[in-house]
Amino acid sequence: MGEETFKLMQGNEACVEGAITAGLNFFAGYPITPSTEIAELSAAKLPRVGGKFIQMEGEIASISAIIGASLTGKKAMTATSGPGFSLKQEGIGYAVMAEVPCVIVNVQRGGPSTGLPTSPAQGDIMQTRWGTHGEHSIIVLYPSTVREIFDTTIKAFNLAEKYRTPVILLMDEVIGHMREKVEMPNREKIAIYNRKKPSSSLEKYLPYKVSEGDMVPKMANFGEGYRYHTTGLVHDETGFPTNNGKIAEELINRLVHKIENNLDDIVDYEEYKLQDAEEVIISYGSTARSAKSAIDVLRKEGRKIGLFKPITIWPTAKNQIEDLSKRTSRISVIEMNMGQYFLEIERIAGKYSKVDKYGRSNGELITPKEIVSFIKEG
């Protein structure tokens, strides 16, 4: 058990393995390509480890069920794609507002609407950020290798528990279905974070009160004696609704700042050949793999180019990206859409560096060759 082992694994399978390692014990879902294997594997594996799987009547029901399960103390997850992810938005907002930890996997496919069900796409970048209505912050992670899917899924659970927030694990059809040989980490070395529980007496528990210097309230499980109320309405420390503008402002500020003020902890990224780089590619998910190959080719030809691959997509790695923009002359954002993350990068880096974009939305992968010619043309 303690040894590193090698396994041939599919991306979606690595997600389930990572989730169970992180403590997943409740899954509710509804089948949709290309995420279905996550539901199927959860159905097979969870009861074997005492966990629970339920196929709900749709995606809204699924997100609702995982929020309910999380209130009883479970580590809960759902997985979906395009149309299903659209349906989950109201529930995601509820989890943000009521501060219920949960993980929502979105294995992207081509859209809008039913779109290109079996083709890869990265068109949900902005939807993950602003899909649910109202002012909020959100954590979105996006791995690009099978091993990284395993690690990032664990991180998604850890962040959900630590910050009491829904975390979106973004993938795409390519990495979801790809098989790779994976070195499985030694389980004993994996850090698992569990939500902080109240230590106050039953009568004194205020479910949404934060202690001095902390931004995340302690969370009791339903059934343990701390009887409390949760609502999607603006609420005070007691959990009961209020229309008081000052309390509303404090609440929304706290919900946003508990994430935005902890970038060092939340932001994760990979740097590839960046030390001496004069040019940078920013790319994520499966497209980052093509970008790496392109960089290898361009490096052989003598170009000083490197990759910045955000793994945390939201909140953005703004400090790192700003630094890069100050020491390089050109940043190319390459993504399987028509420039969604480009908007964010340009906002951060545009002041200091030239920011270009390359991408499209026709369900075809962006190849290393294309990237090489795009960089050379620029």
Where do contacts with other proteins occur on this chain (CB under 8 A)?
26, 28, 47-48, 50, 52, 54, 56-58, 60-62, 64-74, 76, 90-91, 94, 222-225, 227-233, 238, 240-241
For other proteins, the closer CB: 50 or 302: 50
DSSP bridge pairs for 279:
305, 330
Q: Residue 167 contacts by C-beta under 8 Å, 6 or more apart in sequence?
A: 101, 102, 103, 104, 139, 140, 141, 156, 157, 159, 160
Report d(CA 143, CA 270) in Å as an integer.
10
Report d(CA 342, CA 312) in Å as an integer.
15
Strand ordering across the sheet containing 166-172: 52-55, 26-29, 76-80, 102-108, 166-172, 139-141, 312-314
3-state secondary structure of 370: helix
Q: How far is the CB of 90 from other proteins (least distance, A)?
A: 5
Q: How far is the CB of 91 from other proteins (least distance, A)?
A: 7
The closest of 65, 135, 127, 131 to 100, measured between CA atoms, is 65
Q: How far is the CB of 108 from other proteins (least distance, A)?
A: 24
For other proteins, the closer CB: 53 or 358: 53
Q: How far is the CB of 45 from other proteins (least distance, A)?
A: 11
Q: How far is the CB of 232 from other proteins (least distance, A)?
A: 6
For other proteins, the closer CB: 61 or 125: 61
In degrees and rounded to multiples of 5, residue 225 shows phi and psi of: 105, -20
For other proteins, the closer CB: 84 or 176: 84
For other proteins, the closer CB: 57 or 276: 57
Q: How far is the CB of 116 from other proteins (least distance, A)?
A: 27
The closest of 57, 139, 131 to 93, measured between CA atoms, is 131
Maximum separation of any 2 CA atoms in the chain, in Å = 70
For other proteins, the closer CB: 76 or 159: 76
Q: How far is the CB of 39 from other proteins (least distance, A)?
A: 15
CA 296 remoteness from chain centre: 28
Which residue type does 193 have? Y
For other proteins, the closer CB: 228 or 269: 228
Report d(CA 65, CA 36) in Å as an integer.
18
